[in-house]
Amino acid sequence: MTQRFTPATTAAIDTARQHTLADLLRRTALRVPGKVAIINGSTTLTFGEFDAAVNRCASTLTARGLRKGDRLALVSHNSWQFAVLHYATARLGAILVPVNFGLGSEEIAFILDHSGAGVVVAEDALVPTVAKAIELSGLTDVPRGFIGMGGQVVPDAGWDDVDEWIRTGDEVVPQVPVDDDDPLRLMYTSGTESRPKGVLLSSKSLVNQYVSCIIDGGMTGDDVEVHALPLFHCAQLDCFLSVDVYLGATSIILPGPDPAAILETIESHRVTKLFCPPTVWISLLRHPDFDRRDLSSLRKGYYGASAMPVEVLREMSERLPAVSLWNFYGQTEMSPLATILRPHEQLERAGSAGRAALNVETRVVDDEDDPVPTGTVGEIVHRSPHACLGYYNDEENTAAAFRNGWFHSGDLGIIDADGYLSVVDRKKDMIKTGGENVASREVEEAIYLLDGVAEVAVFGVPHPKWIEAVTAVVIPKDGVTITAAQVDEHLAGVLAAYKRPKYVVFAEALPKNPSGKILKKDLRVRHADIATE
């Protein structure tokens, strides 16, 4: 039955039914205004104070010209101001563009230019890098703000103090109608291309994902959580921080994953919940403070970004016997959760990515998108309201990713008879190192810029700390001598540190099939033990 109302009535109904990212914070602040929401160094905000700070920041951004649909690029380590900007942009229907703070000026410039950022905010220590990126992008007239984190005094009068935006803005925010599927986030992912793709996320994508995290991840409003991994990643921002805000849990924000700081924070704040990729869990287990700190409050542990080594899982179960563990698998395009391995499955199903989350349907398909038999390798695909709105200004890649009505992850996997998914490889050559995605093609193209390089192949090899280490096999041109130090020095000016190869090997030729395709699988096998040599 189709109901017809006047435009005014329809608008009133839409407003009453609105349930967006910004609404979640406001409703939590109404429920528990005096409860502590955020602790970040010497700054503590209750939910009421947090919501008021978001309103003031949103008003200031409006005065700076930011409107619904405009993009705000944010380049910063974790901070309470990051969290405020996250919700302030959502309150205006603007689109937040979190940028990896480890990128160089040229890499940031591409993101600024591609996104068409209307406002740029940077941590004070990163202002010189971001200022150069703004110059390279041509977006020289955009308003700029800096987050003061003790890095340096910003001399350029063209940069406003974000703390002033938050302190002095009007708490009465313009009422902006925001639909559930209006884009509110633009996340740039390395994927498998030489240039990152912009993933558009909406409140519908995010809120449905939060519900899956809450139900399948055992999350509650009583949680006290450390947020130490970068908030520019969907994992920390959307599986954990935003869920805590939704539930009314307490979030302790650290600037980065320093093991000593994490362990001290767990003890001093009686932390109950922690997410880390395997590399950081390993660093915690190996830190001398692990056995000296009182970690008895910790009850829930989460990992993702790459597989947890079985021996580490066993060690964690022995040294943290009261901690229940979850493995979250997914990708940015899924906001990011797709499948979960639950606590009672950890050792029995070690290495598995688990089964589809509450709001997700997952299958493994062949090249014609037909489901493959149980136990057969195929591409992992999903259907879910978690899924993104597509890639920004990229019809070709969006059409390919969503062909036949499924999101194609690009990962290869196997589903067993019980429905458990194992990720066995990537359909394209993306490397996951220390929780970061590195596109092998991007690294290869950068190495090719070095004089004397004839051929190069970049791939990942197992590593005890980074899980995968970026490795390059370089074929010099005849009569040319190149050293690993020269390769690293060249890349230092081109790529972020985590993208640069940890191992550079020189050879006379690369293995290829009859059609000339480089056999990276052979290279991975050949150099699998390089990290232990």
For 91-146, how does the pLDDT look when each residue is reduced to its tens digit (9 = 90+)?
999 999 999 998 999 999 999 999 999 999 999 999 999 999 999 998 888 999 99
Which has the closest alpha carbon to 81: 260, 270, 231? 231
Average pLDDT, the chain: 92
Which residues 6+ apart lie within 8 Å of 3 measured at CB? Answer: none
- pLDDT per position as a tens digit, 157-195: 789 999 999 999 998 888 899 999 999 999 998 644 458
Q: In b/e form, how buried is each residue of 221-236, taking b as 16+ CB within 10 angstroms? A: eebbbbbbbbbbbbbb
Which residues 6+ apart lie within 8 Å of 124 measured at CB? Answer: 146, 147, 148, 149, 150, 151, 152, 153, 154
Domain 205-426 has CATH 3.40.50.12780: yes
Structure-block tokens of residue 434: 């220390």
- CA distance readout (Å), 459 to 190, 192, 450, 482: 15, 12, 18, 20
Cis amide prior to 373 (ω within 30 degrees): no
Which has the closest alpha carbon to 354: 394, 404, 302, 287? 302
Binned at pLDDT 50, 70 and 90, residue 438 comes out as confident
Is the confidence at residue 293, as pLDDT, over 80?
yes
Distance of CA 289 to the CA centre of its chain: 28
d(CA 237, CA 372): 34
d(CA 177, CA 179): 7
Proportion of the chain above pLDDT 70, given as a percent: 96
- pLDDT per position as a tens digit, 74-88: 999 999 999 999 999
Which residues 6+ apart lie within 8 Å of 69 measured at CB? Answer: 93, 94, 95, 182, 183
Which has the closest alpha carbon to 429: 396, 395, 402, 458? 458
Decide whether 205-426 matches 430-532 in CATH topology.
no
* This prediction's pTM: 0.84
Structure-block tokens of residue 240: 């954990």
Confidence (pLDDT) at 427: 65
**First and final CA of the chain: distance in angstroms?**
70
Is the confidence at residue 517, as pLDDT, over 80?
no
- pLDDT per position as a tens digit, 402-414: 999 999 998 888 9
The one-character DSSP state at 125 is: G
> Helix, strand, coil % (nearest 5) of the chain?
35, 25, 40
Please give the class, per CATH, of domain 430-532. alpha beta
Confidence (pLDDT) at 426: 66
Confidence (pLDDT) at 381: 98
Query: Do 147 and 122 form a contact (C-beta atoms < 8 A)?
Result: yes
Residue-by-residue DSSP string for 409-453:
EEEEEEE-TTS-EEEEEESS-EEEETTEEEEHHHHHHHHHTSTTE
d(CA 224, CA 148): 26
Structure-block tokens of residue 81: 């101001």
Structure-block tokens of residue 270: 């009686």
d(CA 468, CA 488): 18
CATH label, 14-33+40-179, candidates 3.40.1260.10, 3.40.630.30, 3.40.50.980, 3.30.70.920? 3.40.50.980
- CA distance readout (Å), 381 to 204, 213, 388: 20, 19, 13
- Residues paired with residue 461 on neighbouring β-strands, in sequence order: 469
Instruction: Parse the chain into domains and list their residue ranges.
Output: 14-33+40-179, 205-426, 430-532
Q: Among the listed ranges 329-333, 358-362, 379-383, 476-480, which one has the minimum average pLDDT value?
A: 476-480
Is the confidence at residue 272, as pLDDT, over 90?
yes
Span 14-18, average pLDDT: 90
- Selected residue with higher pLDDT from 300 and 149: 300
